[in-house]
Amino acid sequence: MTSRARPEPRAATSSWPQEICRDPVSERARLFVLNLRRALAGATLREAAAATGVDHTTLSRILDGHVWPDGYTVARLEVRLERSLWPAWTG
């Protein structure tokens, strides 16, 4: 059995997260990152980590498009920041 590694979200665009991703799954991750950046409102990564309980290195890797945020992390960020971050499905 071979395992298939997920591509990094940023692999779907040449200018993460400014450019729209051609891949609709990566595009949802990009929209999440844009929502997260707005919610953090210029806080440093360490300030954001203290406020959310999500490690600053994890936040950095998510914001830079190197990793996919898991469900627990998305939920924790939304609860701690008191706002919806994952983009709503528009079909």
Residue 2: per-residue pLDDT: 56
Domain ranges across the chain:
23-81
Task: Give the model confidence (pLDDT) of 11-64 as tens digits.
Answer: 999 999 999 999 999 999 999 999 999 999 999 999 999 999 999 999 999 999
Residue 61: per-residue pLDDT: 98
Torsional class of 23: left (φ above 0), alpha (ψ -120 to 50), beta (otherwise): beta
Residue 90: per-residue pLDDT: 85
Task: Give the model confidence (pLDDT) of 64-86 as tens digits.
Answer: 999 999 999 999 999 999 999 99
10/46 Cα distance (integer angstroms):
23
